[in-house]
């Protein structure tokens, strides 16, 4: 997975829906300070979801 594609996706998401992006970032910052264990669990789940989405995208382009 290319980091530039992730950054482009996040940039596009923040430009299309800035209110939800600010609310999501605010929630993650609050979780980082109040419940760091939950923050890192959510961060891991998000990273795994990006990985699975990238895997499906790769498999779809190969025709499998």
At residue 37, the pLDDT reads 94
Q: Which tens digits make up the pLDDT trace of 3-49?
A: 777 778 777 877 888 888 888 889 889 988 999 999 999 889 988 88
pLDDT for the residue numbered 33: 93
Task: Measure the CA dihedral 13/49/6/38, to 10°.
Answer: 80
The answer to whether residue 62 scores a pLDDT higher than 90 is no
pLDDT for 13: 76
Reported confidence tier of residue 61, pLDDT bands at 50, 70, 90: confident
Closest of 44, 40, 18 to residue 28, by C-alpha: 40
Q: Is 35 left (phi over 0), alpha (psi -120 to 50) or beta?
A: beta
């Amino acid at each position: 997975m290319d980091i530039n594609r992730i950054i482009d996706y996040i940039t596009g998401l923040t430009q299309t829906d800035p209110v939800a992006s600010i609310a999501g970032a605010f929630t993650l910052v609050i979780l980082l300070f109040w419940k760091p264990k939950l923050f890192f669990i959510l961060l891991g789940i998000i990273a795994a979801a990006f990985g699975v989405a990238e895997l499906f995208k790769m498999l779809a382009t190969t025709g499998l």
